[in-house]
Structure 1
Amino acid sequence: MAYLLENDILKLECTEQGGEMLHLTNKEDGIEIIYQGDEAWSGSNPSLFPIIGSTYNKTYEIAGKQYSMKNHGLIRYARLKGEQGDDHISFIYESDEETRKQYPFDFSYKITYRLENNQVKIDYRIENTGKEDMPFSFGLHPAFRVPQKQGEMFEEYSIHFENDENANQIIFHDDLSIPSHTQSVHLNNWQLNRDEIKRFATIVLKDFSSTYVDLEYKNVPKIRISFPGFPFLAIWSHPSPSNFICIEPWFGHADFDQSCSDFYQREGTIILQPHEVFKTGYTITIFQNKEGK
């Protein structure tokens, strides 16, 4: 079943698989905004729950029992229950016997999409439906087509931060036995650079105040990704050159070295008490050619 939302500016199509966006089209020029998973990376815009990446050992322990999940957790591999409304699309996923084999907690997970003029508003609701405190990480992984038009080049695009500021970048190595560290970086306008992305594997930032970034072509804003409240931001593209850039707001991150063996103590971990609810969301704004900023 196709789940569709449309207004005068945008058309959005979603799927029950992962509750993901399939297509986001700017009706002004017919441009597809979302990378279609048709090059080096087969993904597109998965949700990352209850883990981002993986632990150092690819396993973790809860109450003396060992568990493991695939990379980025459960949701990206799951088929969610869809609900089509007049002005929204929602996808719901509930824990069950199979999820508890990988993650021994009960939860309810909901994604809701809405269109508002030239914006896609995406909200998340996670509830601890069990009787124990529930630790988890949560992140977003949207991939945007870059370049968007024939004749453009990947390197002609840039990411412009809301604030001109200093932040910290987490530096890690392929050999996770080597401790990770942070280095101070200045955030303003970063020109897309495949070599730099490949050198760092993933650019992971923290300790910033910006709540949005603009993806720009020759200094003209094309897409704004707004992520208030997220403490980490990752930037990634596949090491085999592909026409997309991922701009990923995160709560938490993968284990970048062997320093943390306690699943509850991983940096950025959220712990929900029984019946407590966690809510967050982000917004994608598609700038129209006639509007600019």
Structure 2
Amino acid sequence: MEYVLENEHVRLECMEQAGQMKHFIDKDRNVELLYQGDQGWSGRNPSLFPIVGNTWTKDYKIDGKTYAMKNHGLIRYADLKGKQERDAILFTFDSNEDTKAQYPFDFHYEMRYTLEQKTCKIHYSITNTGVRTMPFTFGLHPAFRIPQKPGEVFEDYSFVFEKEEHAKQMMIDRQPHELKDVTFKEWKLSYEEIYQALTIIYQDLQSKYLTVCYKGEPRIRFHFDGFPYLAIWTHEKKSDFICIEPWYGHADFEPGHDDFYTREGTMCLEPGETFETEYSYEAL
């Protein structure tokens, strides 16, 4: 089934596979903003739950019992139940016997898409429907088509942050990983810098948004307020996309964190409690 939201400025199409966005067309400029999963990486914009990345050993322990999930958890591999509303698209997913064999908790997962002028807003809610404390973390992995037009060059794009940043960069290309003090207002896109870092991961950013610019011309504004980490990634095989990833947690970068409850970034929901968050991006 096709799930569509459209106004005079933009058109959004979504699909049941992982509840992902399929297209986001800036109708004013006749440009597709989203990567189509057709180059180095086959993904598009999965959501990461109940784990970001994976553990060092690819498995983990809950109350002394060992479990394992694929990279980035469960939702990215699931077909969600879609509902087309007049002014929103809603996707839902509930735990089942297959998910509980990998992650032994009951949950209800929702993601809701809405449009406001040229902005796409995505709201998430996760409810613990079980009877015991549920540990989890959460993140997003949207991939944007960069460059956007023929003749443009990846390295002519940049991220301009809302504020001058004095943050920490997680140096995951070494063990043990280190936190490096970094200061910047603008970051120019660079394949080589991403490859060297494996993934650029910032923590403690003060900005609530960044603006993707081409030679100083604003193209996309990406809002990530409330997320403790922001990652930047593209595939090691040069491809025309960049991922801007707000996270609440991260993968293990060294051994020794196999207890799921104590991993950095783990949050806990008591029975009946709901976690909510959102992000948005705007065509400029």
Deviations 1:122-152 (Å, cap 9, x if unpaired)?
Answer: 0000000001111111000000000000110
Of 210, 226, 229, 2:226 maps to: 229
Match in the other structure for 1:290: none
CA distance in 1, matches of 2:68, 2:168: 30
Amino acid at match of 1:179: P
Is it true that 1:53 corresponds to 2:50 in the alignment?
A: no
Match in the other structure for 2:127: 127
Identity %: 53
Cα displacement (A) at 1:187: 2.6
Cα displacement (A) at 1:114: 0.3
Contact 2:159 2:188 in 1 (8 A): yes
Cα displacement (A) at 1:208: 1.4
TM-score normalized by the length of structure 2: 0.99
CA distance in 2, matches of 1:273, 1:88: 29
The within-5 A match list for 1:1-293 is: 1-173=1-173, 178-287=175-284
CA distance in 2, matches of 1:128, 1:188: 39
Contact 1:136 1:269 in 2 (8 A): yes
CA distance in 2, matches of 1:219, 1:38: 28
CA distance in 2, matches of 1:168, 1:256: 16
Contact 1:158 1:192 in 2 (8 A): yes
Cα displacement (A) at 1:200: 0.4
CA distance in 2, matches of 1:160, 1:29: 21
Q: Name the SS for the 2:181 alignment partner.
A: strand
Cα displacement (A) at 1:261: 2.8
Q: Name the SS for the 1:162 alignment partner.
A: strand
Cα displacement (A) at 1:265: 1.3
Contact 1:111 1:123 in 2 (8 A): yes
Cα displacement (A) at 1:95: 0.3
Amino acid at match of 2:116: E
Amino acid at match of 1:207: D
Cα displacement (A) at 1:247: 0.3
The number of residues matched between the two structures is 284
Q: Name the SS for the 1:256 alignment partner.
A: coil
Unaligned 5+ runs, structure 2: none
CA distance in 2, matches of 1:160, 1:266: 31
CA distance in 1, matches of 2:101, 2:144: 34
Contact 2:12 2:24 in 1 (8 A): yes
Cα displacement (A) at 1:228: 1.0
CA distance in 2, matches of 1:217, 1:29: 14
CA distance in 2, matches of 1:219, 1:49: 35
Greater mean deviation of Cα atoms: 12-21 or 266-275: 266-275
Amino acid at match of 1:141: H
CA distance in 1, matches of 2:252, 2:191: 24
Unaligned 5+ runs, structure 1: 288-293
Cα displacement (A) at 1:258: 1.3
Deviations 1:49-89 (Å, cap 9, x if unpaired)?
Answer: 00000001100011121100000000010000001000000
Contact 1:172 1:257 in 2 (8 A): no
Q: Name the SS for the 1:148 alignment partner.
A: coil
Contact 2:173 2:196 in 1 (8 A): no
CA distance in 2, matches of 1:18, 1:156: 32
CA distance in 1, matches of 2:59, 2:152: 43
CA distance in 2, matches of 1:68, 1:203: 26
